[in-house]
Amino acid sequence: MGLNPSDRRTPMVNGSKNPEPVKVLWFIDTQWYEKSNRSFLDLAQSSLCPKCMEKLGKKRKKTASSEVLVAIKDCCSKLPDFVTARMPIMESVFRILLANGNRPMTAEDIGRELSEHRDGDNYAGSPQMLTRLLNSDHWYGFKKESSV
Ligand SMILES: [Zn+2]
C-alpha cells in the first residue's frame, strides 16, 4: 500500500548532506606506533620473506623502516603467499598497504587487491565491510585522510 519503509530512501549516514563525494584514503600511521609505544618496524618486518628477513637481520646497524618498506615493495610482496585467503583481513590490509609503499589508498582499491589475493572473495573485500573494520582497528594504526 505504498507504506513500505524501504520505499522511503532516507539517508542513514550521519551528516551526509554534503553532495561532494569525499574520497577517504587509508594509510598506516607510523607516528601512532610511537605514541602507542609500539614498533612499526617489528610489525612490518614480520611480513618480510625469509630471504629478506635474513638479509636485513644480518646487518650490523639498526634496520630502518624505509629499508623494510623497499624490500617488501620490490621483493616480498611479489611472492604468492604474501597475502593469502587464510590470513586475517586486517593483516592482509596491512600488507597490501606495505606492498604499495604505504601510499594512501581508498577502501575500494584495498578491497580490489584483497579479493585478488583471496581468490575472488568479494565479501571480505567490500568497501563497506573494510571501512567498518578499518574504523574499529586498534592494532595496525590505520588512519584515514580525506580528499575531495
Ligand atoms: Zn623479500
Distance 100 CA to ligand 1 centre (A): 14
Give strand ranges (E) for the chain: 23-28, 105-106, 142-147
**Is pLDDT larger for residue 116 or for residue 136?**
136
pLDDT-derived band at 123 (thresholds 50, 70, 90) equals: low
Distance 134 CA to ligand 1 centre (A): 26
- Cell numbers linked to 72: 617488501
- Cα of 41 from ligand 1 centre, angstroms: 15
The pLDDT of residue 18: 57
Which residue pairs, CB below 8 angstroms and at least 24 apart, start in 7-11?
Answer: none
- Residue boundaries of the structural domains of the chain: 22-147
User: According to the model, what pLDDT value does residue 12 have?
Assistant: 52
Residue 69 burial (C-beta neighbours within 10 Å; 0-12, 13-18, 19+)? buried
State how far the Cα of 76 lies from the Cα of 48, in Å rounded to an integer. Answer: 6
Distance 108 CA to ligand 1 centre (A): 26
pLDDT exceeds cutoff 80 at 23: yes
- CA–centroid distance, 147 to ligand 1, in Å, is 33
122 Cα: distance to centroid of ligand 1 (angstroms): 27
Report how far ligand 1's centroid is from the alpha carbon of 96 (Å). 14
Distance 73 CA to ligand 1 centre (A): 8
93-103: per-residue pLDDT in tens?
A: 999 999 999 99
More confident call, 1 vs 97:
97
Q: What predicted TM-score, i.e. pTM, was given to this entire model?
A: 0.81
Higher pLDDT: 60 or 133? It is 133
Q: How far is the CA of 35 from the centre of ligand 1 (A)?
A: 29
